[in-house]
Amino acid sequence: MTRYLAILVVALTMWGCGGRETGEPENVPAIWREVRISPGHTKHLGKVACEDCHGKGKFEKPPLELCQKCHPAQQQVLHTKVMTAPIGMHIPSCRDCHNFGNQIMPKQACSQCHQEKHGDQQCTECHSPHKSPATKSRTCNECHKDEQTKHAGARGCLDCHRMHETDVTADMGCASCHAGQAGALRITAKAKTTGHPRCTGCHVPHKFAKSEVSACATCHKAQPVIAAKPNAHGACISCHSPHDDAPKACTTCHREDVKHPATAAGNACIGCHPIHNPTLVANDAKAVSCETCHLKPHHGTATCLDCHQPHAAKPQLAAGLCAKCHTQETARAANTGHAQCTQCHTKAAHEPQAPRPACATCHADKFRTTVDTGHATCTTCHQSANHAPKTTPPACATCHTTEAASAPQGHQQCASCHVPHEPKRAPPACVTCHAQKKTEGHGKHEACVSCHRPHGPNGPPRPPACLTCHTAGALPGLHKASHHSSCVTCHTAHEAKPKSDRATCLSCHTDKVQHEPTAATCAGCHPFKK
């Protein structure tokens, strides 16, 4: 609206500017169309003839000092510096602030040169451009009527504020003063952090009472706390000092000697106890699960806390620890050489089902002597080898059925001839037990195995018939008689001489009882040898 009014005024004053009835001005440069709506021109149009400022004829640019011609009583502008805008290098001039050019000034012309501001106030609220002194005699309270100004000995606003400072600059003044205070009032630079960059973030400006400090929940609304009741975690300042970014160490209140997690930086406790974890709070839990960091398999149905103490060092695997759950196994293994569980369960902690080392890892000597013998698999005989290796193994007859069934009387104990872990070793000689047999009868001339087999399966264990070696009809004397074909009637295998007494012969020849009754032996007349 102002622009259109200015155009109307221009049209009405054309006759005073030497124009013709057509409304076209004479000797007016084309730039007039751009500058005619400037604040300076709109103020003067209709009041001052154009030629009073621009002269007659050439319509020249008015000199800088021209303003004094009409405004002699207006005190010279209070600027002592040379201006550079908007009309170029020159001494201080009215037109530095009052624009007659083609650029429309902002509401506050002062801002062309002065960047300082006081909040959203216009400069003229406090400054009089044409008076000396330029600052009006006003007090802060004229605008800031409700602001408290007494603070720890401060007497007025200017003890903390400067006229043209920003809010941030004023906030910095708190730290500059409190850094030199003593005791609880001494606030150092570490009170300002990324989350709390300004004092006035918590301390409302001009409200200095401790009770007027903003509650933490004003900003931190979603900070649930584990174990808030009945413990002291419910109050933020129980862990967070108001002027220190780093929270207090948990050990300030909790004296436990924390060993885990060993690699956590800073406060190790929060590695398991994140104080503001909403999931823990919702479940009324005190710590995150071990699986949060440890993704190893479980130990059967055991939980981590069955073996691990939360604030202790890594547990040592030993029979005592294993016995908490594996009572029978550790009791059976005691004093057997297998009492140390980790000898076989090398990954017992988190992978108890992992393949265990072969028995030969420790019992290499036994493995060497049983390989390729049918006894190479230890558990064939040591069925309780894991936890009771000294338990009596099953009888040999469990596998060697035929041998056990065919063993001669007195030879049922296999280990009397065989060594369990050296099944290929030759059994001891028969004379080890039957020494007297070696000195009698056939023992002098033949190996025991010529007549005796210890057991099956290769044939019967009893001695073969005498005729296997002694061919019938080839023996001398009375051996040829058909009724003397049974050798054992007169002979035993291990006697030095055959039986030749009268009683032996009469056991068969009962009708000869009265035949030469005084003879001690029959062989004197009836020889078996020629």
Q: Coil, strand, or helix at residue 396?
A: helix
Residues 6+ apart with CB under 8 A from 220: 236
Residue 492 lies in a domain: no
Average pLDDT, the chain: 78
Number of domains in the chain: 2
Considering 81, 113, 145, which residue would you say is the last residue of a domain? 113
pLDDT above 60 for 466: yes
Higher pLDDT, 212 or 441: 212
Tokens 């596998």, residue located: 399
Task: Work out the number of other CB atoms within 10 angstroms of the CB of residue 316.
Answer: 8
Higher pLDDT, 116 or 8: 116
Q: What is the DSSP letter of 90?
A: B
For residues 373 and 464, give the distance between their C-alpha atoms in angstroms, rounded to a whole number.
30
Burial class (CB in 10 A: 0-12, 13-18, 19+), 102: middle
User: Is 96 within 8 Å of 105 (Cβ atoms)?
Assistant: no
pLDDT above 80 for 456: no
Q: What is the pLDDT of residue 263?
A: 54
483: closest CA among 500, 508, 501? 508
Residue 325 lies in a domain: no
Considering 91, 113, 135, which residue would you say is the last residue of a domain? 113
Q: What is the pLDDT of residue 292?
A: 84
467-524 residue pLDDT tens: 888 877 778 878 878 788 788 888 887 776 777 788 888 888 889 888 988 888 888 8
Q: What is the pLDDT averaged over residues 437-444?
A: 77
pLDDT above 70 for 9: no
Q: What is the pLDDT of residue 462?
A: 73
Residue 467 lies in a domain: no
Residue 363 lies in a domain: no
pTM: 0.49
Which pLDDT band, with edges at 50, 70 and 90, does 530 fall under?
A: low
**DSSP annotation string for 441-490:** GGGGTS-GGGT--SSSSSS-SSPPPGGGTS-TT-S-GGGGSGGG--GGGT
Domain residues for 442?
A: 427-462
Beta bridge partners of 323: none
Q: What is the pLDDT of residue 27?
A: 66
Residue 392 lies in a domain: no
Residue 131 lies in a domain: no
Considering 113, 133, 156, which residue would you say is the last residue of a domain? 113
CA dihedral of residues 211, 216, 218, 222 (deg, nearest 10): -150
Task: Work out the number of other CB atoms within 10 angstroms of the CB of residue 329.
Answer: 17
119-132 residue pLDDT tens: 778 888 888 777 77
Instruction: Write the single-letter amino acid at 85.
Output: A
Residue 194 lies in a domain: no
